[in-house]
Structure 1
């Protein structure tokens, strides 16, 4: 659903909407008691505010464009958007993106539960990659019957697939599992807003996509929210921790 929505929207908008995963994961983690809000102390308030501020930054990037930033040169890569390569359908793309974000946040929560019973990140990464590959192959067989959908030349398709397999499905997922085990799912998802900033910058310089002032303002708001939540996720003072242990014991 995530990759299918790329055919109907833009990379910058998709990366912006994906940042709602942090807010969804935080709500699910609080409901399932994987994360404590502690709204009676400053750090708990900072976690809630950080999530809300990041979500506000995402919404500002999505809803407000503003003036276009002047192009500094020619893009490095030209993407052909004719002959049906890209069909813009924002309503269909937004539905796919929304469902993708919901299932993605559930996936982070599932990882936190799984690691408690199966604390082996490399083995779990292998299993997830294997099941994901089988699922994608099955979907492709149903949707695309042409041989061209399975052939790959020595071009950007090859390098993007290689990067997605080795870096994203291998290295990144392994590091992500380790971070979830150490800090929890909310800590990991709160770094998703940085991808929005990076995608907007790379799309501007590499693909020649328009960069709006609204995206820059939203990126600043997102980073502020990120640091608020990270401060709230830090270990509280020793006396506060002792007080919390006593409350849990009682």
Structure 2
């Protein structure tokens, strides 16, 4: 079950309540943030904010149509086109564990967020294409982010928990065993993809090592604020998902 939290921007425990809502399935939605400053305060109650290549000095990345920037490899999010579901910062050795996304201004049309639960993806692959699942677990089977990126696997498992790391753009290079089954992977991702429209003033916090995120193409002046980070020591958020999970989350 996905929980929705109404935030009081002046509540010092708002972040703790949001993190608690996230804990079971790695995703929670929220409303009540009034501006960029209150969004940053909320994020800092949950995580150590991670400064991204494209973020401003406060760690907030404003995601809108930036024209030619979207043509740069790895920067498709700054355009208007569809964005395939992916792990944020997948080329890093250790991607940030949390991502907070907030709608500051909606699109004229389109632009719905799209989500895939990595636990559900793992579950469906085990049922529908176990050979592909094995390939996605194989070490050094995917190069994320080009020559200077990370050589690893889509799924990494340890002590009964798995994390997912995924992208499907020009900065992903797959082993032959995966490449020849990409059509199957795309079909399963399409089946599992769930749209999540965000109204202005609404957002979500997700576990970046469990959930894949993307968006539909849009028209208009859509503007989202994004923050990345790792949980504070006082915030207990499990990484990834249990591979024994009998019933993955639905949105």
TM-score by length of 1: 0.24
Is the helix fraction higher in 1 or 2? 1
Is the strand fraction higher in 1 or 2? 2
TM-score by length of 2: 0.24
* Higher RCO by CA contacts (8 Å cutoff, separation 6 or greater): 1
